[in-house]
Chain A
């Protein structure tokens, strides 16, 4: 069986297809399922318990946990004899010029999250094959959800995994690449974001992986689909999204809302409010969720407080940089029925305005 990459737009049922796939496997297959966000991990675990509860050997874990458990912890002494990984440092960063052990471990011997990929990759080589042999004996399949979020050294690790006897199945959407595991890393920059797609194409030509694409969403309305396709310029070469959500509620599609009308809008439609970070949208006392945290969630309606570049994009059509574009794409695709964007003026986008009925 060949390795597989399924690319699919937001809301096309990627998680569901993973769960179905797991349920279809023979009971004795030993499977690791890795994800990038806690939320996604919880969703996957509970759905798997429901659909494939009789499979005792399906293990869901975060990508970092996977690297810690099977790479860093067992094999660290190959780089640093007599040392053990005693914990995980998610937030911290090594000193810019840090060399040797202090590059990877803090003073308590906790592994830095941002350097874990590099550590794991180097251990593959330094363990003289012991690491990969161990992994091959433990797992028959490795499923990677949100593969677009791999970054830097993760790609080299994936290359090693693709050459192993473990069957790799990946799902992802390069338009959603918002969570780079190491933002500061320069390694493999050329694969960043959508260029990761070319990386896979290269491997498809060498018959290492088979790629399939799905452009149909079951989640958001055709109007939303048409709008989010415009976030990325034509040069990215993404195929247009088709929507199969034909449910209508009387308020469907993408709307512009003047800042003065935010409270009436929220009162009328009760949307989930989204903002880029805690520092944006301060003027409204609303129950906000940040873009990053919204990943993997879905809501009937949403209201977005845009960033400066998003406003510029709506107003004069200036395209967003890849990172912010992906982030705006993720936010906009969270809704089933309607997306409202708070803005004073937006000439370029041609979207319609929502106004309270008394005006």
Chain B
């Protein structure tokens, strides 16, 4: 379906290119990375609309990439005759028979390539060239959008005025669910796409007849009374009838009901669920695009689970899905291989992940894969106590918490280290993994992870068996029993190592809050140095 998305000059995207997956695309990224903007841009080029409204009604100066505008203004002030900022969004479609009317070479691909596609551009209107030049005498970063025009075209250079019929697009945007009528533009669009032309005609006719019938029955006695009135207001007879104009057509009067309750009055979670299932109709035989923004909003964990399983059932045959999410649960369940990491220049897809790894995360949907995906640098540790101790050690070494330097410390909590390393490796992350030796030779333990280790980016750190099998004995070895007792506030009567084994988390917390620094065991110090770089 959509093979490629190219965006230039639109909001955060200066130059952006993306080659989406054929079926499912899970767009993840930090806040402000452009997930929603990306969906918005694709909807613009697919439907010519934004939030259900046409471009000229919504266009504002902030649509233009700020960097480009600032450079332009600076260049013009310096007397350079650079071209004004423009916006262009291009969607390249798969070269299928039914899309051929949209096919042509009017796109920015080099070398010249013909394929079906649509593009939306916002460029200076030549009719206002003089006014625009006059404005450029004293340019400001707020572009005069009055002198701009939008053009929505297919790659055959035909101007589009309404969405081409092949490009059925369903937008599920939980933010707009709360519209005044309860049925927003997108939902009405989805409903309309569901009906066959003859069904639509039948509804329209039936609705009009019902209105006529009401005029004949309910309004008759009133009309008779008005007609018989002694003092007519006007010399011609006056009567009441139902409004038959297009303003009151059936589209605005029909609304879905859920178990007898109007759509607008059902819960927000249910509204989102209904929209999604209407949009992803199993029987829809048309090519379609479904855009879902943050399905996790408004949903309890159980309804989200139900919704996600419905989405994964329906995704595939005909539809191409774009889902933005902040939820690891959604990500894991729908398949971590569909992940697209959005940044202002591209959306990186995961190159290859073993199918059993994808399944592994699907079975453990609670695992925070999204954190792995979003972090710049990662430290993988075994459990919460390792996490707390590592953070303290790092702070003592560098004066800052790892998080302040973009380093995320993640505890594995029993998850397979190999799976996490595989994921990090395909995501191209810099990772320091730390684990206990549990009495085994560190070299043997490293052996099973060698596939994912990489000298400068992914390294595994394990303490020497001679200094202790887990974190606690290692701490005692490197700091001495006396210092440990004083940091932990353990009385000389108590057995230090037994207490430490029993109260792992408490040990970690007391170390974290201690005023005295501790000496880091070698493998933890090495891990900190590695990840700090």
Q: Which chain A residues have a beta carbon within 8 Å of chain B's beta carbons?
A: 69-70, 73-78, 81-82, 84-85, 127-128, 130-131, 133-134, 136-138
Contacts and interface: CB of A to CB of B under 8 A. Distances in A.
Q: Which of A75, A78, A134 has the most CB of B within 10 A?
A: A134
A124 to B, nearest CB: 12
B114 A75 contact: yes
Contacts of B114: 74-75, 78, 127-128, 130-131, 134
Contact of B111 (A76, A81, A84, A136): A81
B112 interface: yes
A130 B105 CA distance: 9
A67 B141 CA distance: 44
Contact of B157 (A84, A131, A134, A136): A84
A323 B443 CA distance: 95
A73 B100 contact: no
29 contacts: A69-B156, A69-B158, A70-B156, A73-B157, A74-B106, A74-B155, A74-B156, A75-B104, A75-B105, A75-B114, A77-B112, A78-B105, A78-B112, A81-B111, A82-B108, A84-B157, A85-B157, A127-B114, A128-B114, A130-B114, A131-B114, A133-B100, A134-B100, A134-B103, A134-B114, A136-B100, A137-B97, A137-B101, A138-B101
B71 to A, nearest CB: 22
Interface in B139-166: 155-158
B110 interface: yes
B404 interface: no
A134 B93 CA distance: 14
Contacts of A85: 157
A137 B166 CA distance: 13
Contacts of B156: 69-70, 73-74, 134
Given A74-B114, A81-B110, A137 B98 contact: yes
Nearest to B114: A130
A138 B155 contact: no
Contacts of A78: 105, 112, 114
Interface in B107-149: 108, 110-112, 114-115
B105 A74 contact: yes
Interface of A is mostly: helix
Q: Which of B98, B103, B105, B112 has the most CB of A within 10 A?
A: B105
A128 B95 CA distance: 14
Contact of B100 (A69, A81, A127, A138): A138
Contacts of B115: 130
B103 A130 contact: yes
A74 B110 CA distance: 16
B105 A127 contact: yes
A137 B98 CA distance: 7
Nearest to B111: A81
Contacts of A70: 156
B119 to A, nearest CB: 12
Contacts of B106: 73-74, 76-77, 84
Interface residues of B, number: 18
Nearest to B110: A81
A81 B107 CA distance: 10
A358 to B, nearest CB: 65
Contacts of A131: 114
A135 to B, nearest CB: 8
Interface string B175-209: 00000000000000000000000000000000000
Q: Which of B97, B100, B101, B103 has the most CB of A within 10 A?
A: B103
Contacts of B101: 134, 137-138
B100 A76 contact: no
Contact of A74 (B98, B103, B111): B103
A130 B111 CA distance: 15
A137 B100 contact: yes
Contacts of A81: 110-112
A88 to B, nearest CB: 13
A77 B105 contact: yes
A84 B101 CA distance: 17
A191 to B, nearest CB: 30
Nearest to A80: B112
B100 A74 contact: no
Contacts of A82: 108
A133 B111 CA distance: 20
Nearest to A138: B101
Nearest to A123: B105
Contacts of B103: 74, 130, 133-134
Nearest to B115: A130
Contacts of A134: 100-101, 103-104, 114, 156
Given A70-B156, A76-B106, A130-B115, 9 more contacts: A69-B158, A74-B104, A74-B114, A75-B104, A78-B105, A84-B106, A134-B101, A134-B114, A137-B98
Contacts of A137: 97-98, 100-101
Contacts of A69: 156, 158
A299 B90 CA distance: 54
B243 to A, nearest CB: 30
Contacts of B111: 81
List the 6 closest A-B pairs by CB distance, nearest first: A74-B104, A137-B100, A74-B156, A130-B114, A77-B105, A73-B157
A20 to B, nearest CB: 27
Contacts of B157: 73-74, 84-85
A154 B450 CA distance: 67
Contacts of A73: 104, 106, 156-158
B103 to A, nearest CB: 5
A256 B342 CA distance: 85
A263 to B, nearest CB: 53
A128 B103 CA distance: 13
B293 to A, nearest CB: 34
Nearest to A137: B100
Nearest to A76: B105
A69 B104 CA distance: 11
Nearest to A133: B100
A138 B97 CA distance: 9
A56 B360 CA distance: 53
A84 B121 CA distance: 14
A85 B101 CA distance: 18
A109 to B, nearest CB: 12
B198 to A, nearest CB: 14
Nearest to B96: A137
Contacts of B158: 69, 73
A82 B100 CA distance: 21
B362 to A, nearest CB: 39
Nearest to B100: A137
B508 to A, nearest CB: 62
